[in-house]
Amino acid sequence: MDLSLNEHQTMLKNAAASFMERECPKNVLLQLDKHETGAPPELWHKIAELGWLGMLIPAQYGGSGSSFFDAAVFNRGASLDRLGQFYARAIVASGLPFDMLFGPAYKGILLVAAVAIALARGVDGRPGRDLAFAFNRKEAKDHGEGGRVIGAPLAGRVLIVDDVMTAGTAVRESVDIIRAAGANPVGVAISLDRMERGEGALSAVQEVEQRFGMPVVAIATLEDLMHHLREAPEFGQNMRAIREYLQRYGAAPHA
**Cis check: omega of the bond before 87, within 30 degrees of 0:** no
* CB within 8 Å of 45: residues ≥ 6 apart: 228, 232, 235
Catalytic residues: 141, 143
Whole-angstrom Cα distance, residue 40 to residue 36? Answer: 9
125-129, long-range: CB < 8 A, 24+ apart: 126/92
Q: What are phi and psi for residue 246, nearest 5 degrees?
A: -70, -35
**195 Rama class: left (phi>0) / alpha (psi -120 to 50) / beta:** left
